[in-house]
Structure 1
Amino acid sequence: MEQTYRVLIVDDDPDDQFLIKIAFEQESEKFILDIASDGNEVLTMIQTPLFLPDLILLDLNMPFVSGFGVLQYLKESPRHCHIPVIILTTSSQPDDVEQAYRFGANTFITKPSSHQELTRLVRHLRVYWFELATIYTAGIR
């Protein structure tokens, strides 16, 4: 049986959520996709005992709790600190890049301007994180 991976998409833009899902659905049997539209929603989701994603794609600019707040919580949590967090945001500000890495982001990527480029970027992320890299799952499955 092929291993499945859980990916949490955290983005308040419905168009970006849709495009990211499309990029993963090429191998839909391999991925379970969850979506959170704001910081409060993601914090509620990850505190559920059985919910533990393998990868998180995190936007910075969200209502209620910012992406930085979510990132800081994740990386300070013994249960979640091992999860790779990819910052995928419209920002390209050096201060945002610095703060994201300081808080423990694994990668910082500025969202491309076109839908086609975003879909292609997410496909590359999918290949890198789930075909080339080895993800630590902390023995929890």
Structure 2
Amino acid sequence: MKNTFNVLIVDDDEDDQFLLKTAFEQDSPLFNLRFANDGTDVLENIDRTDFLPDLVLLDLNMPRIGGFEVLSHLKNSPHYRHVPILILTTSDNEEDINRSYELGANTFLIKPTQHQGLVELAEQIRLYWFRLAKIPTRRTNQRGT
């Protein structure tokens, strides 16, 4: 098992960011969290940093550049296509679900309406994706890292 995992959380809701941070802090030494407030923040900055995510939590409904565009960019990039992307959104629209999977999302999750539900969902994500599932490891030839 790796020493630490990089998690990129893309969500414009500061309350949701805080709750997700709280849920991941239960294993805080294992997780290095980065937050982006919208798709523009991700697309303008992801290639300018040495932060290669092991997992991305991505909201769909954000200002300026939304989640579908971010998902498409990451899954079409040779540097990021191996990174699991979990859609975490309030939408339960069948078209959004289908489009997310067509663009390469690994999972589609609907945000709970209650804060405690979001904390519990984040704990399940943490346990499943980092304890049970085997995810791709960072490749040393990517982006010079």
Question: Which TM class, normalised by the smaller chain length?
Answer: over 0.9
TM-superposed CA distance for 1:137, in Å, is 1.7
> Is 1:81 paired with 2:81?
yes
Give the percent of matched residue pairs that are identical in Structure 1 and Structure 2: 54
Aligned ranges for residues 1-141 of structure 1 at < 5 Å?
Answer: 3-140=3-140
In structure 2, how many angstroms separate the alpha carbons of the residues matched to 1:119 and 1:138? 27
SS in 1 for 2:121: helix
TM-superposed CA distance for 1:48, in Å, is 2.0
Report the AA paired with residue 37 of structure 2.
S
TM-superposed CA distance for 1:56, in Å, is 0.3
Report the AA paired with residue 60 of structure 1.
L
Contact kept? 1:68, 1:100, Cα under 8 Å: yes
TM-superposed CA distance for 1:131, in Å, is 0.3
The superposition leaves residues 28-83 of structure 1 with CA deviations (integer Å, 9 ceiling, x where unpaired) of 11100000001110112321251210000000001111100000000000110000
Report the AA paired with residue 70 of structure 2.
V
- What is the TM-score when the length of structure 2 is the normalising length? 0.93
The superposition leaves residues 77-117 of structure 1 with CA deviations (integer Å, 9 ceiling, x where unpaired) of 01100000000000000000000000000000010110000
Report the AA paired with residue 6 of structure 1.
N
Structure 1 residues without counterparts, runs of 5 or longer: none
SS in 1 for 2:48: coil
Report the AA paired with residue 103 of structure 2.
F
TM-superposed CA distance for 1:2, in Å, is 5.7
In structure 2, how many angstroms separate the alpha carbons of the residues matched to 1:51 and 1:33? 10
SS in 1 for 2:56: strand
In structure 1, how many angstroms separate the alpha carbons of the residues matched to 2:6 and 2:51? 9
Structure 2 residues without counterparts, runs of 5 or longer: none
Contact kept? 1:45, 1:51, Cα under 8 Å: no
Contact kept? 2:54, 2:138, Cα under 8 Å: no
Following TM superposition, the consecutive aligned residue runs of length 4 or more in structure 1 with deviations greater than 2 angstroms are 138-141
In structure 1, how many angstroms separate the alpha carbons of the residues matched to 2:66 and 2:2? 35
SS in 2 for 1:23: helix
Report the AA paired with residue 3 of structure 2.
Q
Contact kept? 2:72, 2:104, Cα under 8 Å: yes
